[in-house]
Amino acid sequence: MTALVLPNRRVEDWKYSDLRNAIEPEAVEFAPVATWNVCLSGSVEQNDLPEIMPRAVHGQMGDMAASRAKFGLFLHVAKGQQGAADLQLANPGHGRALIVVEDDAALVLREHGRADGFTNLAVDIVLGPNARLKHIREAFRSEAVRVSDYALRLAAGANYRAHLADFGAKLSRTELHIALEGEGAQADLSGVSVLGDGGHADVTTRVTHASGNTQSTQLFKIIAGGKSRGVYQGKVSVAEGANGTDSRQTAKGLLLGERAEIDLKPELEILADDVKCAHGAAVGDLDPESLFYLRSRGLPEAEARALLMRAFLEDAVGEIADERIRAEVWSRVEAALAELSA
Amino acid sequence: MLEIDDLHVAVSGKEILKGLSLSIDAGEVHAIMGPNGSGKSTLSYVLAGREGYEITGGSIRYRGEDLAAMAPEERAAKGVFLAMQYPVEIPGVTTMNFLKTALNAQRRARGEKEVDALGVLRLVREKAKALHISEEMLKRALNVGFSGGEKKRLEILQMALFEPALAILDETDSGLDIDALKVVADGVNALRSPERAMLVITHYQRLLNYIVPDRVHVLYGGRIIKEGGKDLAHELEAKGYADIIREAA
C-alpha cells in the first residue's frame, strides 16, 4: 500500500495551508464517515444519497471525501418550493452531501461547525433555473483540522449568496468551486475570518463564468492577531463566449501583530471579449490616527481597537440580508474581536 | 484650570516646544496665534495625549493633576476635549453610533449612568439643529464624505454633547467659508460658561472676530513671545507676524 500524500506547501494551491504538516496521513486514511444533525423547515426533503451523483468539480481533498464517504446527506427542494435547513456536524470524518434546489425554488442553508478532530467534506450543490440559495456558514474556533469543499452548478437565472465566518482552527480550509453555467446566473460571496493566536483560515474560491451575462461578486475580510494565518485565494475565469460577464473581487486584510500573516491572492483569467472584471487586494494595520481620535473622545484603547476592527468587517457582514441571522453572526464576530483587542 | 509651565516637547527627537508657559482659568477663552511651524498643533496634540509627542521638560497641570500622566481616554473622561484640525474618517461606524459610544465611554469612566439610545438621540438632535447638522448626516459613516465645514461642525457638536471643562480648538477655522465659520463660532460661543475654559488655536485673526478671546498669546519658535488682550489679535492682523516677531526678539 502506498502512503497517502496530503496536499502540502509544495502544491501551489495549498501553499498557505500545509495539510501534511497539520495532520498524520493515518488520521486521514482511517477517518470515519462524517454525519450531521439536521434540522429542516418548510419544504425540504431529506434522503440518502442517490446512486448516481451529478458531475462536480472538487479540489483534491473534496475528491477524496467524495470517494471515501460511502453514504451521506441529500437535501432536496422541489420546483417552486421554499425551505430552510440547519446543519451541524455530529461526527467528524470524511463527509458527503448533495443539495438540489430545483427550478424557482429557494433554500436557506445554515451550517455551524464546532467539531474537533479531522473533517473533510465534499458538498455538491445544484441550483436549477431561477433557484435561490442563501448559504450562511460559521466555523467556530477549534483545534480541528477541517476541510470543506463545495462544488456548485448554477443554471440560468439561479442565484447563490454565500456568507462565511471562520474563527480559525489548527487548519481550516474552505473551497468554493462555482460554475455559472446558465445565462444570467449570479453568485455573491462574502466572508470574514477573525483569527486569534494559533488560528488558521483559508478561503479558496474558483468561480467560472461559463455563460453570458453572468455575475459574481466577492468581498472577503481577514483579521489576524497573535501568531495566525489568514488566506484568501480566489480565481475568476471567464470562458470564451461568456460575454456580458460582470465580476468583482475584493479581499482585504488587517494585521494586528508581527507574527500574524495574511496571504491574499486574487486571480483573473479572461477568454471572452465583452466583460467587466475588477479585483483588488490590500493588507494593512489598524490606523493609529483613527485609534487616537477615538481614544481622545473617551473610548478606552481596547474598545477603540474593537470598534475599528468591527468597522473593517462592517461591509462584509452587512452583506447578510436577513437581520436576525446578521445579528447572530455579529454577536459571534464581536465576541472574537473582544478577545483579539483585550 | 490649565497650567503649562516651561513645557518642552520633542517629536522624533526634534524639539518643537521650547519652554512654553501658559495658564488658563475657568470661564476664560484664550487664543494662541502663530505662524506655520510655530508649534500650535504640537501643543494641541500634547494636551490631548497623542503618541509620539515626548515631553522632555516642564509640566502640564489640569485641575491640579498631572495631565501628561493620563491616557487620552482618561483626559476625555476628565473633561478635556480637542476639536481637531483634521478629524479622521472612519468607514463602517455611523456618526450616531460613534457619538453614543463615546458619550457613554466617558460617562462610564466617571461612574455615571449610561444614556440609552433614545436618550442620546434626543440629546444629539437638540444640539445638531443649532449647528445645521441633518439627521441624514448622523446616519452616515463618521466623517466619510463630509465636507470640511461638516467635519468642523461635527467636532463642535461633540463638544456640545460631551460638555468638556477644557476645550481646545485646533485651527477650527481652516477650510471654512464665512457662513460656515459663523455657524461654528455661534456653536462655540453658546458653550462659553463660567465653568469652562477654552483654548482657541489659530493662524488667522478672522475666527477671533467671532469668538472673542479674553487673552491672546503669540506662539513662535515653540515659545510664547507676546501676550495681550483681544486687541493683540488685531495688531497681528495689521502688522503681520514678522513685525511682532522682530519686536519680541
Could you report the per-residue pLDDT of B55-65, keeping only the tens digit for each? 999 999 999 99
Residue B115: band (very low, low, confident or very high) from pLDDT cuts 50, 70, 90: very high
Q: Which residues of chain A does B48 touch, with a Cβ-Cβ cutoff of 8 Å?
A: 292, 296
Q: Which residues of chain B does A314 touch, with a Cβ-Cβ cutoff of 8 Å?
A: 91-93
Interface predicted TM-score (ipTM) of this complex, two decimals: 0.96
The count of C-alpha atoms lying within 13 angstroms of the C-alpha of A2, restricted to the half-sphere facing its C-beta, is 3
Closest chain A residue to B44, measured at CA:
A296
Residues with Cβ within 8 Å of A133's Cβ and at least 6 positions away in sequence, in order, are A99, A101, A106, A107, A108, A109, A125, A127, A158, A159, A160, A161
Minimal CA–CA distance to B82: which of B54, B46, B44, B110? B44
Q: Give the three-class secondary structure for A21.
A: helix
Whole-angstrom distance, CA of residue A144 vs CA of residue A173:
11
Note whether A294 contacts B: Cβ–Cβ < 8 A: yes
Amino acid at A339: E
Note whether A314 contacts B: Cβ–Cβ < 8 A: yes
Question: What pLDDT shows up at residue A43?
Answer: 97
Yes or no, beta carbons of A290 and B77 under 8 Å apart: no
Task: Say which of B72, B92, B101 has its CB closest to residue A295.
Answer: B72
Distance from CA of B178 to the nearest CA of A (A): 27
Q: Where are the domains of chain A?
A: 12-286
Whole-angstrom distance, CA of residue B25 vs CA of residue B3:
9
Amino acid at A60: Q
Q: What is the pLDDT of residues B88-109, one digit of tens each?
A: 999 999 999 999 999 999 999 9
Amino acid at A293: Y
Residue A52: band (very low, low, confident or very high) from pLDDT cuts 50, 70, 90: confident
- SS3 per residue for chain B: CEEEEEEEEEECCEEEEEEEEEEECCCCEEEEECCCCCCHHHHHHHHHCCCCEEEEEEEEEECCEEHHHCCHHHHHHCCEEEECCCCCCEEEEEHHHHHHHHHHHHHHHCCCCCCCHHHHHHHHHHHHHHCCCCHHHHHCEECCCCCHHHHHHHHHHHHHHHCCCEEEEECCCCCCCHHHHHHHHHHHHHCCCCCCEEEEEECCCHHHHHCCCCEEEEEECCEEEEEECCHHHHHHHHHCHHHHHHHHC
Q: What is the pLDDT of residues B131-144, one digit of tens each?
A: 999 999 999 999 99
Strand A73-77 versus strand B215-220 pairing type: unpaired
Note whether A70 contacts B: Cβ–Cβ < 8 A: no
Note whether A313 contacts B: Cβ–Cβ < 8 A: yes
Which residue ranges form the domains of chain B, and what is each CATH number?
A: 2-248 (3.40.50.300)
Residues with Cβ within 8 Å of B13's Cβ and at least 6 positions away in sequence, in order, are none
Phi and psi torsions of A210, nearest 5°:
-90, -20
> Residues A102, A130: contact at Cβ < 8 Å?
no
Residue A149: band (very low, low, confident or very high) from pLDDT cuts 50, 70, 90: very high
Distance from CA of A166 to the nearest CA of B (A): 20
Residue A151: band (very low, low, confident or very high) from pLDDT cuts 50, 70, 90: very high
Tell me the pLDDT of chain B averaged across its residues. 93
B 64-83: CB under 8 A from A: 71-73, 75-77, 82
Q: What is the pLDDT of residues B121-173, one digit of tens each?
A: 999 999 999 899 999 999 999 999 999 889 999 999 999 999 999 999 999 98
pTM: predicted TM-score of the whole model, two decimal places: 0.91
Q: What is the pLDDT of residues B202-239, one digit of tens each?
A: 988 889 999 999 999 999 999 999 999 999 988 888 88
In chain B, what is the straight-line distance between the N-terminal and C-terminal CA atoms, in Å? 30
Q: What is the pLDDT of residues A231-283, one digit of tens each?
A: 999 999 999 999 999 999 999 999 998 999 999 999 999 998 899 989 888 99
Whole-angstrom distance, CA of residue B81 vs CA of residue A83:
54
Look up residue B224 and give its three cell numbers.
510664547
Phi and psi torsions of A166, nearest 5°:
-120, 125
Task: Say which of A292, A296, A315 has its CB closest to residue B92.
Answer: A315
Whole-angstrom distance, CA of residue A31 vs CA of residue A49:
20
Task: Say which of B50, B51, B76 has its CB closest to residue A297.
Answer: B76
Closest chain A residue to B74, measured at CA:
A298
Residue A2: band (very low, low, confident or very high) from pLDDT cuts 50, 70, 90: low
Closest chain B residue to A300, measured at CA:
B73
Note whether B29 contacts A: Cβ–Cβ < 8 A: no
Strand order in the sheet with A200-209: A45-47, A73-77, A94-101, A118-127, A145-154, A171-180, A200-209, A229-238, A261-270
Q: Could you give the dihedral angle defined by the CA atoms of residues A7, A12, A18 and A23, in that order, rounded to the nearest 10 degrees?
A: 0
Question: What pLDDT shows up at residue B244?
Answer: 83
Yes or no, beta carbons of B93 and A297 under 8 Å apart: no
Whole-angstrom distance, CA of residue A189 vs CA of residue B37:
49
Whole-angstrom distance, CA of residue B149 vs CA of residue B146:
8
Strand B223-228 versus strand B215-220 pairing type: antiparallel
| Chain pair A-B, CB pairs under 8 angstroms | 74
Q: Give the three-class secondary structure for A269.
A: strand
Yes or no, beta carbons of A294 and B102 under 8 Å apart: yes
